[in-house]
Structure 1
Amino acid sequence: MNETKPQQTIAYFSMEIALESKLPTYSGGLGILAGDTIRSAADLKLPMVAVSLVHRQGYFAQTLDADGGQTESPVVWDVAKSCRELSPRIQIEIEGRSVHVRAWQYTVEGIGGHEVPVILLDTGLPENFDWDRTLTDHLYGGDSQYRLCQEIVLGIGGVRMLRALGHHDVARFHMNEGHAALLGLELLDERARWFQRERFDHDDVEAIKKQCVFTTHTPVPAGHDKFPLDQVRSTLGRDDIFDIHEVFCCENELNMTYLALNLSHYVNGVAKKHGEVSREMLQPKDASHHYQIDHITNGVHLGTWASPSFADLFDRHIPGWREDNASLRAALNIPEEAVWQAHQAAKARAIKEVNRRTVAGFDLDTFTIGFARRAATYKRAELLLTAPEKLKQIASRVGPLQIIYGGKAHPKDEAGKQTIRKIVQTSEALGPDVRLVYLEDYDWELGAILTAGVDVWLNTPMPPLEASGTSGMKAALNGVPNLSVLDGWWIEGCIEGVTGWAIDGLAKGKKSKNRTPLDAKSLYQKLEKVVLPTYYGQRDDWLRVMRHAIALNAPHFNTQRMVQQYVVKAYFE
């Protein structure tokens, strides 16, 4: 990237971005989605620059003891080995101090050679105070003050760094979640200074809205950052901004989601259902104001998540699928036996990894369920284990089971940690017909192995709290059917008995204060009456579902289609 040449570009801001499997610049789904977005933008030759923090000590490495107790440790990496240091330096004000920021560039290259630079901001400079040097160390670490300071670095520092690098003609600023919303404040201040005014006004707000796009990713309240106004005043060193109520509309707090909403001309959720939930959840009580919230369903970067055996299969039967993801609809023409062989190769890889990490003694012929995602209580990871005796009976009557779990709990999420402990401790009571492992330190590499290598992918969130859920898309790409609750993307991707199966304990149109027992009953029924009998006794039917999972889901649930929708709806409309 030429550091001084102005570019008409899309500036994509995200607190986390998964760049490589071994670089700890992400924690989970949000970061993986950001990385896949950038890879598809590079494939499509989209003029984009991405901005994030360097996260010198990562999210954390997870270790589990024999009882499932989680401990965390930093993941330190050598930034200079993977990134190029850029020459500009910028400064931002935090708590009345000048904090110096430098930038590192990681370059993502698309399939046609187009490059998208990723700018990683870094406060680890000797001229900064000791505490300020740590602000770009820990992803989602520290307390509320640490988080606010990080978001100042990302939003305000990110805009200033882009200007220092020569990006003076950015077409759109895309906020991937509300963490970057303070970029809007910097844009407002920029415009006021341009017109030689000390403060921004309504006309500035309207102008900045045209430049900003906001994607919200969570219907869970804890996922929306909020800071008390006194904390914001002392940290930013100003209180004039709160006089503009059309920007800072929440009393007694700065809500980063509403700041992003108020400063964006286009807002979207990440699945059709999530768009509906967001429109209901985020509308203010004041009926005089109404937010237009669209949806663009998430996807995955197919070239990244196709396992080696399936990538080879597609190369042989559907050449050009990386350039044209929609061409995978032709997967129905791939011979069934070739699909099965590719799956068995991916499964052998997963079984080998499980047995390398544990003494579980998993085997290739046993039906294997995969469940791996962040260990948050609303994900209901233990739904499959609601009635261990019932699960054992199903396995003894219909066929044995192997279950692979994985996922980290946030260091401060004690309920999530307890979920992990319950799962690990339940494994001891399941007996020989149901083998269960919980693999520690779930990450990109392990995720790729498991989503491709299990026989069915399980997802059991409490509706409507799953915004999207991209792991199931990776599974479908590799011919692995989903067995999941109808929430997030699966509402759009599920064709019962064709692409997979739905878990739905409620009759259509019914509601329940506690649907978990009903969903558990539905899950057990599907396993006993449909899924296991088909796998063990009706191989042709199983292969039909596998091929349809690829042909009907992969051509749509990919970031190539997703980015093209952003181009049409949000970037260059």
Structure 2
Amino acid sequence: MIVSVTAELGLDIGQNFAGGLGILEGDKFYAASRLSINYTVITLFYRRGYVNGEEKQKELLSNLNKEWESEITLGGQRIKVEYLAYTLNTAKAIFANPLNTKFNDQLYVENSDEERFYKCLLLARVAENYINERIGWDKVKYVDMQEACPAFLPLIRYFPSYRIIIHTPAPWGHPTFPSYLFKKEFGYEFPLDHVVMTDIGLSSSIEGIVVSKKMLKHVGRTFPQHMYKIRAVTNGVEIPRWRHPLLNDVKDLDDFIKKRKEVKRDIIKKLGKDTDKPTIAWLRRITAYKRPDFILRLIDDLKDDVFFIIGGLAHPKDYSAVEMERRLKEISEMKNNVIFVRGADANLMKLAIWASDIWTFTPFSGWEASGTSFMKAGINGVPSIASRDGAVPEIINDGYNGWLFGEDRETLLPLNVYDDNKEYEEFLKKIKLALSQFYEVGYNAYKTFPTYCAMDRLMKEYGYP
């Protein structure tokens, strides 16, 4: 049995996730089911989701079955927990729903270090309880802790085969908490004022895994003392989940073009539009390092010659991102050739990919851990114009199965040191080139992406049986 513990999980039912981590963990779940791997993923059920509200969670709840009810202790209080299950073949997703606490009210939205501390500890407590009572530790090959939030697990219970998967080089992926909270909850007296949870996870694990080869260099500077046991397993995507069924059997370039046009025409209509213009998409979590301003500049530069699908979701306390989300929505209301898609819905993401001719992937180089949206696009024959970051340099061959722009930076530089104008000009140049070549280059992406990007490769490299 493989057990994964994650703060978020993005399935095709409901929206109990915020972004890429949740979608990736959903892909692992579906791949484990398809490959008949005994796999359990444990997460919290968030009453209000990420920023979606309680209404969005009703669909998820309607697909879950109550498997078990138990109690845990958190902050000196007894908390009743419902364990809600979604099972697919050999894979099981457990959404733990604590009933008398505020800490599972909303994903990634906290008002203090203490609130975040107890939210992460809550995830670890419910996971430990479920493994202990419903699975049995002796039946588990690995407990994979996704990022540092579940890294409280080793402080609760010793297990010789913990692993921590590091999904971001950025500071928010390595939370620190005041040491007095650990003394209050566990009686531990750490010598430093703040405790880095990624360090706890790495110290307690048999190995650490980062999600692209480039990330090894980042982590080597951040946690050099642990590099002897850290390796890279580049992210992948679950192809049966993300590839349009019509594209499963393509004979040659002419057949590819015919089917891509048919898919696009059908999906554009489902989105409520009708266009034969080339379609460019920018759709992801809205935050500064992903450079959403690039797509706004592009819309202005290309005028009405291109159709755009844009959107995503901003964290409610990232006020500049909230303002950017407002601007993206506003431009879609002003221009007939722009669709704005709000949210982090996996099914909407599929439609956006299938309707596109060109995908854009624009993070500041050095800030993206891997990225998988360009992989999802590539397996559908939609080529990307991508910055040289995350897993992109491992997969995209500039001008052959996609296009690259910008410098390939290996350090996490402050965002204000980047020459955005220079990189945007190169981005625009590659966009104009892509507008005349997207079918040919897209066909190369269709042929080359699946082997490297498939979850089959990832699951094997993770050592899943």
Q: Distance in 2 between matches of 1:12 and 1:290?
A: 22
SS class of match (1:99): strand
Change in CA separation of 1:420 and 1:181 when aligned onto 2, cut-off 3 Å: same
Change in CA separation of 1:508 and 1:496 when aligned onto 2, cut-off 3 Å: farther
- Residue of structure 2 equivalent to 1:533: 436
Query: 2:153 matched to 1:165?
Result: no
- Residue of structure 2 equivalent to 1:548: 444
- Residue of structure 1 equivalent to 2:213: 272
Query: 2:436 matched to 1:467?
Result: no
Q: Distance in 2 between matches of 1:265 and 1:159?
A: 18
- The match for 1:242 among 181, 190, 197 is 190
Query: 2:94 matched to 1:119?
Result: yes
- Residue of structure 1 equivalent to 2:311: 406
Q: CA deviation at 1:216?
A: 0.6
Q: Distance in 2 between matches of 1:87 and 1:520?
A: 53
1:28 and 1:443 in contact (8 A); partners too: no
- The match for 2:237 among 292, 296, 300 is 300
Query: 2:53 matched to 1:150?
Result: no
Query: 2:256 matched to 1:344?
Result: no
Alignment of 1:84-483 (within 5 A): 84-92=65-73, 94-109=74-89, 115-124=90-99, 128=100, 132=101, 134-144=102-112, 145-169=114-138, 170-188=140-158, 208=159, 210-234=160-184, 236=185, 238-240=186-188, 242=190, 251-283=192-224, 292-310=229-247, 314=248, 317=249, 334-354=251-271, 356=272, 362-363=274-275, 365-386=276-297, 390-392=301-303, 400-425=305-330, 435-483=337-385
Amino acid at match of 1:105: A
List per-residue Cα deviations over 1:474-514 (Å, max 9, x = no partner).
111111011111111211111122111111268999x9932
List per-residue Cα deviations over 1:507-561 (Å, max 9, x = no partner).
999x993221111010111223x21233xxxxxxx43322210111112112111
User: Percent of counterpart pairs with the same letter?
Assistant: 26
Amino acid at match of 1:481: P
Change in CA separation of 1:349 and 1:179 when aligned onto 2, cut-off 3 Å: farther
2:15 and 2:345 in contact (8 A); partners too: no
Change in CA separation of 1:79 and 1:454 when aligned onto 2, cut-off 3 Å: closer
Q: Distance in 2 between matches of 1:506 and 1:32?
A: 26
TM-score (structure 1 length as normaliser):
0.75
SS class of match (2:104): coil
SS class of match (1:12): strand
Query: 2:50 matched to 1:59?
Result: yes
Q: Distance in 2 between matches of 1:305 and 1:33?
A: 12
Q: Distance in 1 between matches of 2:228 and 2:392?
A: 26
Q: CA deviation at 1:154?
A: 1.4
- The match for 2:422 among 518, 525, 550 is 518
Change in CA separation of 1:142 and 1:74 when aligned onto 2, cut-off 3 Å: farther
Q: Distance in 2 between matches of 1:231 and 1:427?
A: 46
Change in CA separation of 1:162 and 1:338 when aligned onto 2, cut-off 3 Å: same
1:58 and 1:74 in contact (8 A); partners too: no
SS class of match (2:157): helix
Q: CA deviation at 1:15?
A: 1.1
- Residue of structure 2 equivalent to 1:557: 453
1:213 and 1:266 in contact (8 A); partners too: yes
SS class of match (1:58): coil
Amino acid at match of 2:187: D
SS class of match (2:267): helix
Change in CA separation of 1:443 and 1:264 when aligned onto 2, cut-off 3 Å: same
Q: Distance in 2 between matches of 1:566 and 1:556?
A: 14
SS class of match (2:261): helix
Change in CA separation of 1:44 and 1:242 when aligned onto 2, cut-off 3 Å: same
Q: CA deviation at 1:241?
A: 5.5
Q: Distance in 2 between matches of 1:137 and 1:385?
A: 34
Q: Distance in 1 between matches of 2:280 and 2:59?
A: 36
Q: Distance in 2 between matches of 1:343 and 1:18?
A: 27
Q: Distance in 2 between matches of 1:154 and 1:213?
A: 16
Q: Distance in 2 between matches of 1:556 and 1:159?
A: 34
Worse-matched range after superposition: 499-508 or 298-307: 499-508
SS class of match (1:268): strand
- Residue of structure 1 equivalent to 2:388: 486
Q: Distance in 2 between matches of 1:342 and 1:266?
A: 44
Change in CA separation of 1:565 and 1:390 when aligned onto 2, cut-off 3 Å: same
Q: Distance in 1 between matches of 2:51 and 2:175?
A: 21
Change in CA separation of 1:349 and 1:135 when aligned onto 2, cut-off 3 Å: farther
2:50 and 2:107 in contact (8 A); partners too: yes
Q: Distance in 2 between matches of 1:88 and 1:388?
A: 52
1:346 and 1:453 in contact (8 A); partners too: yes
- Residue of structure 2 equivalent to 1:29: 20
Root mean square deviation of aligned Cα: 2.7
Give structure 2 stretches of 5+ with no counterpart. none
TM-score (structure 2 length as normaliser):
0.91
Q: Distance in 2 between matches of 1:187 and 1:508?
A: 36
- Residue of structure 2 equivalent to 1:202: none
Change in CA separation of 1:120 and 1:388 when aligned onto 2, cut-off 3 Å: closer
Q: Distance in 2 between matches of 1:442 and 1:12?
A: 22
Change in CA separation of 1:81 and 1:492 when aligned onto 2, cut-off 3 Å: same
Q: Distance in 2 between matches of 1:480 and 1:183?
A: 41
If you compute each CA radius of gyration, which structure gives the higher value, 1 or 2?
1
Give structure 1 stretches of 5+ with no counterpart. 1-8, 62-71, 110-114, 189-207, 244-250, 318-330, 535-541
| Corresponding pairs, count | 460
Q: Distance in 1 between matches of 2:344 and 2:78?
A: 38
Q: Distance in 2 between matches of 1:13 and 1:452?
A: 31
2:51 and 2:315 in contact (8 A); partners too: no
